[in-house]
Amino acid sequence: MPRLVVVSNRVPVPSPKGSTATAGGLAVALEAALKSHGGLWFGWSGKTSGDREIEWLEIRDFGNVTYAVADLNRRDVDEYYAGFANRALWPLCHYRLDLTDFSRKDMAGYFRVNRSFARLLAPLLRPDDLIWVHDYHLIPLAAELRHMGVKNRIGYFHHIPWPPADVLSTLPVHDTIMRGLAAYDLVGLQTDYDVENFAGCMVREGFGRALGGNWYESYGHRFQVGAFPIGIDTDIFVQMAEEGLKNPIAKRTKESLNDRDLVIGVDRLDYSKGIGQRIEAFSRFIEMSPSAKGHVTFLQITPKSRSEVPEYADMQKEIAELTGRVNGQLGDVDWVPIRYVNKTVSRAALAGLYRIARAGLVTPLRDGMNLVAKEFVAAQDPNDPGVLVLSRFAGAAREMDGALIVNPYDTEATANAIGRAISMPVEARRERYNSMMPKLREHDVAAWCRSYLDVLSQATEPQSEGLRA
């Protein structure tokens, strides 16, 4: 079995005792895959260190897994992470051309950091390593490694949506991005819809041709493209939720509700998540349903995110103001319709909170998959489950047929769905829950890891020269 090398922008380096207790499902699954293959996890340490160029790595071993992380300097973080990755690629992939800020300086920083990462990673590689790169921050990495003579199998997984050709082509360097992806052996996307979009970008824009099956040829290299919908660590999350009511935060929340129904939303503070539209919809629901006034509480948990990016800082202000306005207009002396919490809550507490909620609102304007949708369902009590209200624009909507699917841009319809979720009889709720749980168990994050790595390691199509030379 080849050694596995995972590359991601952030690396969850275990604490000195070897524990990754706070890590999410993806980190846990990747760590498990690394342990079973023996492995190396490489990426940014998450630290910004002065003006120092990226030229050294901190390397630590935990069992048979090595963690190798590099600090970035201020300029690198500004241009590579906050700039090109999060002000150009992120909004573009989320169809937000209005927010896409393309700067040549940031683009240069993005390619510079990827080149530095490749320079640091290449000497750590062994000839038969299987390399798996994650996320839009690192698209050019394989091409950089190829230029350095690396011939290993290299796969890329795009965790966020892939946009249609007309959206992608607004990016001045979209050809370089497509060329970068063509240097991989497998490009993994979340859904069939993303694959269709990707094929459109490749073929319609003339960057490559489809060879049949999942194979494409572009810039002299043959590679596969496929949909690998990511899952959660279902069994562990179910267990966490079963114990969730003992969690002090969940306990306190339940007590504080005084038998009111709880509706919950959990998202990073990001404009792609549709938090403002959701608050409007909840407020509309309260206006439309006099019986809900005073009897339903909406808890929105929104840890701050990417605050160094101006669009995120603006949003922080907007959502806080909107929440204040709705609470002021609709609230009463003994009831606040929206509890807005701007901090990180542990996974154990979230599992408990999901379990006591009557409805979960997962209404992004665009999302690659959305694991909160899956975790909300997994956390439910099978005898008395809550209902998921899910945006049709989340990748998860393509699998989760037991959710109430909504268009988050339609305030009225989303408000109606909240009402339906809260008043749904228990038999109907159970039916919906039972239609989703077997799939959540079967397609969990470990299965996702396995299916991706099987395709990456077993690709048999002969490779042409070109980028490999």
User: Residues interacting with ligand F6P, by CB under 6 A?
Assistant: 9-10, 135, 159-160, 305-306
> Rounded distance, CA 419 to CA 307, Å?
34
Residue 385 or residue 408: which is nearer to ligand F6P going by CB?
A: 408
Question: Toward ligand F6P, which CB reaches closer, 273 or 358?
Answer: 273
Q: Of 111 and 136, which CB lies nearer to ligand F6P in the complex structure?
A: 136
Q: Does the annotation mark 367 as catalytic?
A: yes
Pick between residue 10 and residue 147 the one whose CB is nearest to ligand F6P: 10
The active-site residue out of 159, 174, 221, 443 is 159
Cβ proximity to ligand F6P, 72 vs 160, nearer residue: 160
Q: Which residues contact 324 (CB under 8 A, 6 or more apart)?
A: none
Q: Please, how many CA atoms are within 13 Å of residue 307, restricted to the half-sphere of its CB?
A: 7
- Closer to ligand F6P at the Cβ: 306 or 355? 306
112, 54 Cβ separation under 8 angstroms: no
The nearer residue to ligand F6P, 115 or 159, going by C-beta atoms, is 159
Nearest distance from C-beta of residue 190 to ligand F6P, angstroms = 10
Q: Which helix (H) or strand (E) holds 283?
A: helix 275-288
Q: Which residue is nearest to ligand F6P (CB)?
A: 159
Beta strand 261-266 with 296-301 is parallel
CB 378 to ligand F6P: min, Å: 19
Q: Give min distance, CB of 90 to ligand F6P, in A.
A: 8
Side by side, the strands of the sheet bearing 221-227 are: 58-62, 65-72, 39-48, 4-10, 130-134, 153-157, 186-189, 221-227, 215-218, 208-212
Rounded to whole angstroms, the Cα distance separating 250 from 246 reads: 7
Using alpha carbons only, how large is the chain's radius of gyration in Å?
23
Annotated active-site residue 159? The verdict is yes
Shortest Å, Cβ 157 to ligand F6P: 10
Catalytic residue among 267, 367, 443, 444: 367
Residue 247: alpha-carbon gap to chain centroid = 26
For the bound state, the minimum distance from the C-beta of residue 305 to ligand F6P, rounded and expressed in Å, comes to 5
CA separation, residue 300 to residues 121, 234, 265, 285, 390 (Å): 40, 23, 5, 16, 15
In the complex, least distance from residue 173 CB atom to ligand F6P, rounded to whole angstroms: 20
Q: In what order do the strands lie in the sheet with 338-341?
A: 338-341, 296-301, 261-266, 359-362, 387-391, 404-406
The Cα–Cα gap between 89 and 82 comes to 10
Taking the complex as a whole, the smallest distance from the CB of residue 135 to ligand F6P amounts, in Å, to 5
C-alpha of 369 from chain center: 7
d(CA 125, CA 123) in angstroms, rounded, equals 6
| Crossing angle between the packed helical segments 234-242 and 426-442, to the nearest 10 degrees | 140
Measured between alpha carbons, how far is 196 from 162 in angstroms, rounded to an integer? 9
AA identity, residue 284: R
| Active-site amino acid positions | 159, 367
